[in-house]
Amino acid sequence: MNQIRPLLHGTGKLDTLAEIERKLLWLASWMIHHANHGHPNPERLKVGGHQASCASVTSIMAALYFDALRPQDRVAVKPHAAPVLHAINYLLGRQSLEAIQNLRQFGGAQAYPSRAKDGPEIDFSTGSVGLGVALTSFASLIQDYAECHGLAREGLLKGRSVAIAGDAELDEGNIYEALLEGWKHGVRDVWWVVDYNRQSLDSVMPDRLFGRFEGLFRDMGWNVLALKYGRQLEAAFARPGGQSLKKWLDDCPNTEYSALTFQGGPAWREALTRDLGRNRYVRAIIDPLSDDTLHTLMTNLAGHDLGTLTETFAKAAQSSRPTLFLAYTIKGNNMPFAGHKDNHAGLMTPEQMDAFKARHHIRPGHEWDRFEGLTDPRAAERLIAAAPYTQPLTPEGRKLSAPAVPVPAQLPQPRTVGRRMSTQSGFGELLSEIGRANAETAQLTRHIVTTSPDVAVSTNLGPWINRRGVFDREVKEDIFRDGKLASAQRWGTNPKGQHIELGIAEQNLFLLLGAAGMAHELYGARILPIGTVYDPFVNRGHDALYYACYQDARFLLVSTPSGLTLSHEGGQHQATNTPLLGIVQDKLATFEPSYCDELRILLRHAFDYMQRPNGSAVWLRLSNLPLPQPERALNARHVIAGAHWVVPPAPGAKIAIAYQGPLAGEAEKAFATLRAREPSAGLLAITSPNRLYAGWRAVQRSRRQGYRIRAHIEDILSPLAPDAALVTVLDGHPAAHAWLGAVRGQRVMALGPDRFGQSGTVESLYREYEMDAAAILAACEDALKPA
């Protein structure tokens, strides 16, 4: 029962490919087994792995990587097939033996494919189910954008974006959001290969889903290819009685098929005899077969048939149309628990692994040898060396680079001093000035692309769009403008446009930013992506934002308007948790300026920082509250480091007020009153709790290694008395500032909303949520009381 299927009939390439397929299955299975049994586990925690999920996709991956893929193609591999991918890279000489021997161990190959941890052979990280699949669609769009704008690496052939997906991933809603967005943008050169084993983590998938998948994708303009039966079954169907056998298999419920697969040949014979035993032609097909051969025939699905797979991929490669391959497979194929509904987390026992090893002709002590157990190792080496994907993409490898775009020492300066402006409107004016592409900014401007989920105008991208245009591969005229109908916006599209307009799905925004933010490494194209979104809806796309940061994608996120300051819009549009997200998110430098002069410094820093090797993505949280813009000289280094004194405290001062974002006005009012009582008090502008905290933590680590350095926040707070009080205020959760007391042991009175907001005027909301000048002064009074 559940024997390894024999090599394909005939000689040549398919036979050798079948040998490689078996080798991948062995290496992936052994890798997982070793991870669970070959290392100390003092905590006795689950190590895990997904032998069954690897087994269902091994044939697909062998056909892709050693036949269909080209060097320029980029692939997102389903998370649970990571060991198969590691095995492929090991055979290609791109993954070390030490790494695969330490799968799921510290410093070893990762449980799920990771660009950051597994190295340059991983095109897309996967792990958060469905996101890797959707990302390939946006990667293809960005490849088109880079090509249309002449930004891609010269001489680099255009590639295909491929996702190898588990069928349960198709339950994820973000896939269908991406599918619709891809249809709107005419996405092409995308393959989604679905490992359709009809099992999810907990159960067997409902039978009706297959038809719905096919219909949805066809409606979106995709080519849908169902690879259901292998060549052995197709040959049986061509015999007399074969169509009755085919109808029986087509009608067989997923649960019954899975159960029969697990039970093996005798169960197949019993079921077929029960239902088709009176059909002498069907009996002529099945009766001469042994139980093992009958089992092999009935489980001959196309997703495990290398001939069917390679032929289908070759035909599909003739078109740029996006294609969905629904490849029927068996979860746990060729393993003892094949087809069992509980096999997702199942692992072969040591005894089962010993038998598995013997069937693969692996000698003890040779488990990790690259070509151990193969009938013709030299033929395997020749096939691997000749496979298109094996050829180097560029002399520098698969991870490309692009020269950094020079950023002017200063960005253009719109007239702001003396005006009442919000940072949101200031951002729009700054970007509009950059969009003029004068002598100083022309090169920078060329590399910027903006995007937004249907809120471009309300986040002040309108002036930039009017100057730079909307991107589409096809020229489409603006009907309103052509008809001389009044409209402030120009919405005609063309291949040179520098704004990509998205529908109102925030997951798509962050997936597109992630794809654009990796363009320098994927396509050798330096793109500086800017995405705008309403601040509260960062939460709706947070999974994809986290995912983009995990891949070290470089982009600028602008979230605006933010906080309770949005006032009349009500509580569901008044996010207060986003400053905390900005502190805790790795690979994302987060800032919240209060005034446009700070914003100008930070926007320039963002363009530079997102291109540095040790940089990251950047997030600017902006407000719609107009404030009178001051005329002053700022220390840019302090603004970027996270805080600067607006009014420095006298040495030994007992108190200071610190503010962030639009609360500057309230803090300034309170400070004017406080100074009458405490002339030595200071007024501190916090532009980034994230940078302050990151800097402080980095210094703490350095001190433990013997270095004597100080953090910026330590220098900032050093003029204050050791027992001084800090009264802080921001339009966000006060915990974003509460940690400041740990820096020097000073008392912190942190103000900010920690409850859902509501509709109202700014004045009424600030008063209700204790963010106004009166609340700040009351906190100062409390702080100055004797302990």
Q: Tell me the sheet residues that pair with 499.
A: 450
Rounded Cα gap, residues 239 and 313, in angstroms: 27
The 8-class DSSP code of residue 340 comes to -
Peptide bond into 561 cis (omega under 30): yes
The 8-class DSSP code of residue 406 comes to P
Predicted pLDDT of residue 528 = 98
What residue ranges of the chain have pLDDT lower than 70? 1-11, 199-211, 478-488
pLDDT tens-digit map of 82-130: 999 999 999 999 999 999 999 999 999 999 999 999 989 999 999 888 9
Rounded Cα gap, residues 637 and 210, in angstroms: 57
Global confidence as pTM: 0.94
CA distance readout (Å), 82 to 127, 192, 371, 592: 10, 17, 20, 39
CA distance readout (Å), 326 to 193, 197, 301, 340, 707: 6, 10, 11, 21, 57
Predicted pLDDT of residue 487 = 56
Torsion of CA 515, 520, 524, 526, to 10 degrees: 110
The 8-class DSSP code of residue 78 comes to -
Helix (H) or strand (E) holding 493: strand 493-494
Predicted pLDDT of residue 477 = 75
Rounded Cα gap, residues 385 and 101, in angstroms: 24
The DSSP annotation for 138-150 comes to HHHHHHHHHHHTT
Predicted pLDDT of residue 338 = 84
The shares of helix, strand and coil residues in the chain, as percent rounded to the nearest 5, are: 45, 15, 40
HSE at residue 742, side-chain half, CA atoms within 13 A, is 10
Number of neighbouring beta carbons within 10 Å of residue 395: 5
Number of neighbouring beta carbons within 10 Å of residue 56: 34
- Answer for the pair 575, 536: CB distance below 8 angstroms, yes or no: yes
The 8-class DSSP code of residue 135 comes to H
Q: What are 558's two structure tokens?
A: 């602008």
Number of neighbouring beta carbons within 10 Å of residue 652: 11
